[in-house]
């Protein structure tokens, strides 16, 4: 009898998901990975290390103290009855933990919550959104999730019926979207960020890609916009956002706004505007545009990837459609309470006057400044010239050399947008913890050799 | 232009999921719910409250102190450097937290982990399994998950290609399986637990249902067995488990063993045996049977539903198939670290000689004894006779009356198996926290009226 479970009889969507990771460096990395399998020993390393997703705490970034104080008190509330606690925890962490516990029925941080998340925490998140945007937000619109990814999967599961349903996605993009679209059996309709408009979304290109897809019989359901685009600073201009909002309304598209990098802006003259704020600013209400905003505790200065917290704010969906979203959420019962608490904290951090404020502000600024510094590489002029000769952007040249020498996959900043004359790589660590020391060692050795080779 | 997102253009699998909840009481409840929509005010209540999933901490069950001490220390590790901590936390919680932090690269409880979970925690889980079963367990076989549900979804996503793929599931069952099969587009092939064999799985019935499904062109991929079946005590006999294991091997089925209730055994002469232990006991190795065991921190005496922790142990899958499981896991990055830590703790609780042991043992025994007491209802003889006259089991009679009077949906114990002459209901609280006080009030009033009506 044939084996009951073999690659040949698995869900083909799962198998297909493998081919959904895009971008020049990643595709080159996959080629090298194949080479390693067919010709072991043919490269100066024996495995590929994908460092293209962000994991700051694994690289030594410390969590924000206030957040962790509150989590510890909520995990073990009997600490609140002890005298020693006052000397171990800040006063506002103690009062915040008490507020949160009071918002949870039975103070039960170990109970399943409402499938959208604990109501009191959603109230806090909605208040944080309203204060950020200057427009009202409603706790009933908030679905607290285990990070942004499950929210994205839920929307793909909701919208995609078969391969004739498409989602407009930016290229290059974080592989979450391509993977999720593949897993749910839809079609990724790519659009390209335009360097000439400061890596804005050129509406004419969006329109072209949309019409192209429609001419092939694809029913395009939604547009994914990632804004800010990544930690190196691509922030859409307000005008561009207005055009995107109008485009979605006119074309009948759901706007899926990935806004997880809302705190990662390193340029003084740029400002984050949520798509909901933009839509409301131009007078669009609930009936004009189905809009989902994703936020995560993993990004920004919080960097709490392992806590798996986040939310999606859903507006402009009819009640029956929203019920279907609720049903999908309820099949997984609820997101983890620790992540729910963190999501409420990142949207309502300490304020001026709170005991923790000074320490919180110092930690936040330190992390953001350090991220901004680390986002840049100072490349010698010779390396820039060598890159030019190879017809590559200098950071792409660096990234390709890094990959070929070490197997480490990073994303060049030129694929994301950067201030002219500065070069960036997005270098992060995938969750294969036992490999982290090797990454650091190999990366350091490569960088030293590269800088020596191209010393001015 | 038609609305861009409407119920009519959503994924039909999501819509279908709605009809996947089964069982007499739940179907009756759905009927009443429809009646409330079409004829408001026609019933003595104005909404249906589904109390058919378990959520002990929302009803006042306290978490195990040791577990929460360790979580708080891992959330805020700088506590470990403070003198006051020694008086606030037990010595073994402190040493366990240190061990756990040492097992996490960079002590980073806020970093994404390996997509299967932190290696050191998987080692601890594997050690717990090995000590429970007396057979080796391997950390590479463990996938730590956000509770058991995501693990079940991952397996359904892996195995189900289309509606011609079927999964054998017990009826009645927890709606997770029907919902997950519907969401992933497969077919639920029901089998029925047999009262005459102490609610065992009659192999002849399994075989009949399997052949029946095959004759309809269904490719049956897996058998779901929930053992123990629910908190009231249905525990499969060892012989029956051996037959099930052989049946799966002979029929080429993946055995999906839902073992989340492994600590919920309230009868002295019954004992939990994992299916892996049974398979190994009869000499089956890796090549004989693809077997997945699900465990959760939500059940047992732990009851940590909101922490979303659990794992699946996968054995007997080929390396290429396991890679596909890993890929699905990696699309969601990793499960939450708090839940991962808890999963390692429930599989390695304090031991004799540890400072916390006495307190831990007292808390555990108290919870399990209280659950055992609460699992039974003492019904008056007159009620039993009234049930007989209505051709119902007494607890089903009670559950139907409860539903009709209050809208509260519980599961009668007669659908799960119980000691003759005892009656049970599975009464639990769904995550709609704001409704909990109403449930308690309505339930109490109903119970008093019922007992008064049938007083002996």
CATH number of the CATH domain containing B404:
3.90.1150.10
> Which pLDDT tens digit goes with each residue over A150-169?
999 999 999 999 999 999 99
Which one of A75, A161, A338 has the shortest CB-CB distance to B11? A161
Q: Tell me if A182 is assigned to some domain.
A: yes
Same domain, B150 and B298: yes
- At B123 the pLDDT is 96
Q: What does the alpha-carbon distance between residue B241 and residue B256 come to, in Å, rounded to a whole number?
A: 13
Same domain, A210 and A254: yes
- At B168 the pLDDT is 96
Same domain, B151 and B291: yes
Q: Tell me if B110 is assigned to some domain.
A: no
Q: Do B84 and A79 touch (CB under 8 A)?
A: no
Residue B125 near residue B143 (C-beta atoms within 8 A): no
- At B424 the pLDDT is 64
CA distance B182 to chain A (A): 11
Which A residues 213-242 touch B at CB under 8 Å? 219, 221
Inform me whether the C-beta atom of residue A114 falls under 8 Å from chain B C-beta atoms.
yes
Which B residues 171-200 touch A at CB under 8 Å? 176, 179-180, 183-184
Residue A188 near residue A169 (C-beta atoms within 8 A): yes
CA distance B296 to chain A (A): 13
Q: Give the Cα-Cα-Cα angle A414, A416, A420 (nearest 5 degrees).
A: 50
Which A residues 156-175 touch B at CB under 8 Å? 157-161
Which one of B15, B59, B78 has the shortest CB-CB distance to A324? B15
Which residues on neighbouring strands pair with residue B294, listed in sequence order? B258, B312
Which one of A12, A179, A305 has the shortest CB-CB distance to B331? A179
Q: Do A72 and B73 touch (CB under 8 A)?
A: yes
**DSSP assignment of A396-425, as one string?**
HHHHHHHHHHH-EE-EEGGGT---TT-EEE
Show Cβ contacts of residue B274 under 8 Å, excluding neighbours closer than 6 positions: B129, B132, B133, B257, B259, B262, B293
Which one of B5, B105, B146 has the shortest CB-CB distance to A336? B146
Residue of A5, A152, A163 to mutate, interface with B, max B Cβ within 10 Å = A5
Instruction: List per-residue pLDDT tens for chain B, 456 residues long.
Output: 556 888 888 998 988 885 343 345 656 766 787 788 788 888 887 776 656 557 777 667 899 999 999 999 999 999 999 999 999 999 999 999 999 999 987 788 998 888 899 989 999 999 999 999 999 999 999 999 999 999 999 999 999 999 999 999 987 666 788 889 999 999 999 998 766 666 678 899 999 999 999 999 999 999 999 998 864 457 899 999 999 999 999 999 999 999 999 998 877 788 999 999 999 999 999 889 999 999 999 998 999 999 999 999 999 999 989 988 988 888 888 999 999 999 999 999 999 999 999 999 999 998 887 766 655 666 778 888 898 898 888 888 888 888 888 877 777 766 544 445 666 666 654 434 556 667 777 887 888 888 888 887
Same domain, B296 and B412: no
Which one of B87, B157, B303 has the shortest CB-CB distance to A14? B157
Q: What does the alpha-carbon distance between residue B253 and residue B189 come to, in Å, rounded to a whole number?
A: 13
Q: Tell me if A65 is assigned to some domain.
A: no
Show Cβ contacts of residue B196 under 8 Å, excluding neighbours closer than 6 positions: none
Which one of A1, A306, A434 has the shortest CB-CB distance to B336? A306
B196, with CB counted inside 10 A (0-12, 13-18, 19+), is exposed
The residue of chain A nearest to residue B310, with distances taken between CA atoms, is: A336
What residues in A contact B334, CB-CB < 8 Å? 306, 308, 431
- At A2 the pLDDT is 54
Q: Do B58 and A108 touch (CB under 8 A)?
A: yes
Domain tally for chain B?
3
Q: What does the alpha-carbon distance between residue A171 and residue A177 come to, in Å, rounded to a whole number?
A: 10
Question: What range does the domain containing B74 cover?
Answer: 63-105+351-366
Q: Give the Cα-Cα-Cα angle A388, A394, A399 (nearest 5 degrees).
A: 125
Of all helices (H) and strands (E), which one includes residue A440? helix A436-453
Alpha helices, DSSP H, located in A225-350: 238-251, 275-281, 319-331, 337-346
Which one of B11, B57, B113 has the shortest CB-CB distance to A159? B11
Could you give phi then psi for residue A144, rounded to 5 degrees?
A: -75, 135
Q: What does the alpha-carbon distance between residue B277 and residue A311 come to, in Å, rounded to a whole number?
A: 41
Q: Do B88 and A88 touch (CB under 8 A)?
A: yes
DSSP secondary structure code for residue A297 in this structure? S
Q: Do B76 and A71 touch (CB under 8 A)?
A: yes
Q: Tell me if B111 is assigned to some domain.
A: no
CA distance A241 to chain B (A): 19
Which one of B57, B87, B221 has the shortest CB-CB distance to A84? B87
**3-class DSSP string for chain B:** CCCCCCHHHCCHHHHHHHHHCCCHHHHHHHHHHHHHHHCCCCCCCCCCEECCCCCHHHHCCCCCHHHHHHHHHHHCHHHHHCCCHHHHCCHHHHHHHHHHHHHCHHHCCCCCCCCCCCHHHHHHHHHHHHHHHCCCCCHHHEEEECCHHHHHHHHHHHHCCCCCEEEEEEECCCCHHHHHHHHCCCEEEEEECEHHHCCECCHHHHHHHHHHHHHCCCEEEEEEEECCCCCCCCCCCHHHHHHHHHHHHHHCCEEEEECCCCCCCCCCCCCCCCHHHHHHHCCCCCCCCCEEEEEECCCCCCCCHHHCCEEEEEECCCHHHHHHHHHHHHHCCCCCHHHHHHHHHHCCCCCCCCCCHHHHHHHHHHHHHHHHHHCEECCCHHHHHHHHHCCCCHHHHHHHHHHHHHCEECEEHHHCCCCCCCEEEECCCCCCHHHHHHHHHHHHHHHHHHHHHCCC
Q: Do A147 and B333 touch (CB under 8 A)?
A: yes
ipTM confidence score = 0.81
Same domain, B148 and B135: yes
Which one of A73, A111, A114 has the shortest CB-CB distance to B57? A111
- At B46 the pLDDT is 76
Residue A22 near residue A400 (C-beta atoms within 8 A): no
Q: What does the alpha-carbon distance between residue B26 and residue B411 come to, in Å, rounded to a whole number?
A: 8
Could you give phi then psi for residue B91, rounded to 5 degrees?
A: -60, -40
DSSP secondary structure code for residue A167 in this structure? E
Q: Do A11 and B161 touch (CB under 8 A)?
A: yes
Q: How many CA atoms lie within 13 A of A327 on its CB side?
A: 25
- At B321 the pLDDT is 92
Show Cβ contacts of residue B131 under 8 Å, excluding neighbours closer than 6 positions: none
Show Cβ contacts of residue A27 under 8 Å, excluding neighbours closer than 6 positions: A21
The radius of gyration computed from the CA coordinates of chain A, to the nearest angstrom, equals 23
Which residues on neighbouring strands pair with residue A190, listed in sequence order? A169
Same domain, B431 and B448: yes
Q: Do B115 and A53 touch (CB under 8 A)?
A: no
Same domain, B237 and B282: yes
What is the CB neighbour count within 10 angstroms for residue B351?
10
Question: C-alpha distances in angstroms, B324 versus A156, A430, B156, B162?
Answer: 20, 18, 12, 18
Q: What does the alpha-carbon distance between residue A100 and residue A104 come to, in Å, rounded to a whole number?
A: 7
CA distance B379 to chain A (A): 29
Which one of B111, B221, B436 has the shortest CB-CB distance to A58? B111
Helix axes of B91-103 and B119-133: crossing angle, nearest 10 degrees: 120
Residue B413 near residue B229 (C-beta atoms within 8 A): no
What separation, in Å, do the N-terminal and C-terminal C-alpha atoms of chain A show?
Answer: 67
Inform me whether the C-beta atom of residue A6 falls under 8 Å from chain B C-beta atoms.
yes
Q: What does the alpha-carbon distance between residue B229 and residue B164 come to, in Å, rounded to a whole number?
A: 27
What residues in B contact A52, CB-CB < 8 Å? none
- At B95 the pLDDT is 97
Q: Tell me if A111 is assigned to some domain.
A: no
Q: Tell me if A433 is assigned to some domain.
A: yes
Q: Tell me if B112 is assigned to some domain.
A: no
Question: CATH number of the domain that B361 lies in?
Answer: 1.10.287.1970
Residue of B306, B335, B337 to mutate, interface with A, max A Cβ within 10 Å = B306
What residues in A contact B3, CB-CB < 8 Å? 252, 290, 318
The residue of chain A nearest to residue B159, with distances taken between CA atoms, is: A10
Same domain, A274 and A126: yes
Question: CATH number of the domain that B298 lies in?
Answer: 3.40.640.10
Q: Do B71 and A75 touch (CB under 8 A)?
A: yes
Residue B250 tokens read as: 């002979």
- Of A402, A400, A401, nearest to A415 by C-alpha is A400
Q: How far is CA A210 from the centre of its chain?
A: 24
- At B323 the pLDDT is 86
Inform me whether the C-beta atom of residue A106 falls under 8 Å from chain B C-beta atoms.
yes
Q: Tell me if A363 is assigned to some domain.
A: no
- For residue B228, whether the previous peptide bond is cis, meaning omega lies within 30 degrees of 0, is yes
> Which pLDDT tens digit goes with each residue over A225-236?
999 986 445 789
- Of A329, A339, A337, A338, nearest to A115 by C-alpha is A329
Residue found under tokens 């519980």: B410
- Of A147, A52, A56, nearest to A363 by C-alpha is A56
Residue A354 tokens read as: 């709170």
Which A residues 366-425 touch B at CB under 8 Å? none
Which residues on neighbouring strands pair with residue B169, listed in sequence order? B190
CA distance B274 to chain A (A): 21
Same domain, B394 and B446: yes
Q: Which of A346, A366, A399 is the last residue of a domain?
A: A346
CA distance A452 to chain B (A): 30
Residue A54 near residue A305 (C-beta atoms within 8 A): yes
Could you give phi then psi for residue B21, rounded to 5 degrees?
A: -85, 130
Helix axes of B65-75 and B91-103: crossing angle, nearest 10 degrees: 50
CA distance B16 to chain A (A): 10
Q: Which of B336, B366, B396 is the last residue of a domain?
A: B366
Low-confidence spans in chain A with pLDDT less than 50: 19-23, 231-232, 416-419, 429-432
Q: What pairing do the DSSP bridges indicate for beta strands B165-171 and B187-192?
A: parallel
Same domain, A158 and A264: yes
Which A residues 328-357 touch B at CB under 8 Å? 328, 330-339
Same domain, B129 and B237: yes
Same domain, B383 and B425: yes
């Amino acid at each position: 009898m044939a084996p009951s479970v073999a690659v040949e009889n698995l869900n083909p969507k799962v198998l297909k998901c493998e081919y959904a990771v895009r971008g020049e460096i990643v595709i080159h990395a996959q080629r090298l990975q194949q080479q390693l399998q067919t010709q072991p020993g043919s490269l100066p390393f024996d495995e590929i290390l994908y460092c293209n997703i962000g994991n700051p705490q694994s690289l030594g970034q410390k969590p924000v103290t206030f957040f962790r104080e509150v989590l510890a008190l909520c995990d073990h509330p009997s600490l609140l009855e002890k005298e020693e606690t006052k000397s171990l925890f800040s006063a506002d962490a103690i009062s915040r933990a008490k507020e949160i516990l009071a918002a949870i029925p039975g103070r039960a941080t170990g109970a399943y919550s409402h499938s959208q998340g604990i109501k009191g925490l959603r109230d806090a998140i909605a208040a944080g959104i309203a204060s950020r945007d200057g427009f009202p937000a409603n706790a009933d619109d908030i679905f607290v999730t285990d990070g942004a990814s499950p929210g994205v999967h839920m929307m793909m599961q909701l919208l995609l019926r078969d391969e004739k349903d498409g989602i407009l996605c930016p290229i290059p993009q974080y592989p979450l979207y391509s993977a999720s679209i593949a897993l749910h059996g839809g079609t990724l309709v790519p659009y390209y960020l335009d360097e000439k408009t400061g890596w804005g979304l050129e509406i004419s290109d969006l329109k072209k890609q949309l019409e192209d897809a429609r001419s092939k019989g694809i029913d395009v359901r939604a547009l994914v916009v990632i804004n800010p685009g990544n930690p190196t600073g691509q922030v859409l201009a307000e005008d561009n956002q207005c055009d995107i909002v109008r485009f979605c309304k006119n074309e009948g598209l759901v706007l899926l706004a990935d806004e997880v990098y809302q705190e990662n802006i390193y340029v003084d003259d740029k400002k984050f505007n949520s798509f909901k704020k933009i839509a409301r600013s131009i007078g669009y209400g609930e009936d004009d545009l189905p809009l989902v905003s994703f936020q995560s505790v993993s990004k920004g200065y919080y960097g709490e990837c392992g806590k798996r917290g986040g939310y999606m704010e859903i507006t402009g969906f009819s009640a029956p459609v929203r019920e279907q979203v609720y049903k999908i959420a309820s099949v997984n019962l609820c997101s983890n309470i620790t992540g729910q608490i963190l999501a409420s904290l990142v949207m309502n951090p300490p304020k001026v006057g709170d005991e923790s404020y000074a320490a919180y502000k110092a930690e936040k600024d330190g992390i953001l400044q350090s991220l901004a510094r680390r986002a840049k590489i100072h490349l010698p002029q010779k390396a820039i010239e060598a890159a030019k000769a190879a017809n590559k952007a200098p950071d792409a040249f660096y990234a390709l050399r890094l990959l070929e020498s070490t197997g480490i996959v990073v994303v060049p900043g030129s694929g994301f947008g950067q201030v002219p004359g500065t070069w960036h790589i997005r270098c992060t660590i995938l969750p294969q913890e036992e490999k982290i020391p090797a990454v650091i060692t190999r990366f350091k050795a490569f960088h030293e050799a590269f800088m020596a080779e191209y010393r001015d």
